[in-house]
Structure 1
Amino acid sequence: MKDLSLRFYQSAYWCGGLRFKSGSSRVLICPNCGYKFDLTYSRTFSCSGCEYSVLGSCGYAKCPRCGHEFPIK
């Protein structure tokens, strides 16, 4: 079972990420590499070690592809 879920996440990563179906979906474009991603996806995977992502909105987003951190307008 562990191998199956690992393959699922790897395939989702290579296909451009997981798609979230939520009413508050916010799509951002990285100014560094041009990658389009959902803010929820970014906060879940790229900002998982940051205490500000747990406490609330910090005003920044981090690109899941290149790791560039930029302010949200």
Structure 2
Amino acid sequence: MNPVDAEGREDHPLLHQQVRDIASRAQGELKEVVHERHGGRLLRIAYIQPANGIAWSTAADNIGPAQ
């Protein structure tokens, strides 16, 4: 697990790099990974911004380096 700051942001090794979301097959820049509580569970959520378009979120386990 990567270090997490007081606001729940994870120091992910792919931050500010191009990543691919395996769930949507889309790619963009990884802006942040945050740890959020949902229904009593702690989830790791990745926020991705494409070059052109609307940013989206996905489970952090769904991302990998872009090809």
**TM-score of the two chains, using structure 2 as the length reference:** 0.34
With a CA cutoff of 8 Å and minimum separation of 6, indicate the structure with the bigger relative contact order.
Answer: 2
- Flag the structure with larger Rg: 1
Tell me the TM-score normalized by structure 1.
0.32
Please state which structure has a larger fraction of its residues in helix: 1
Bigger strand fraction? 2
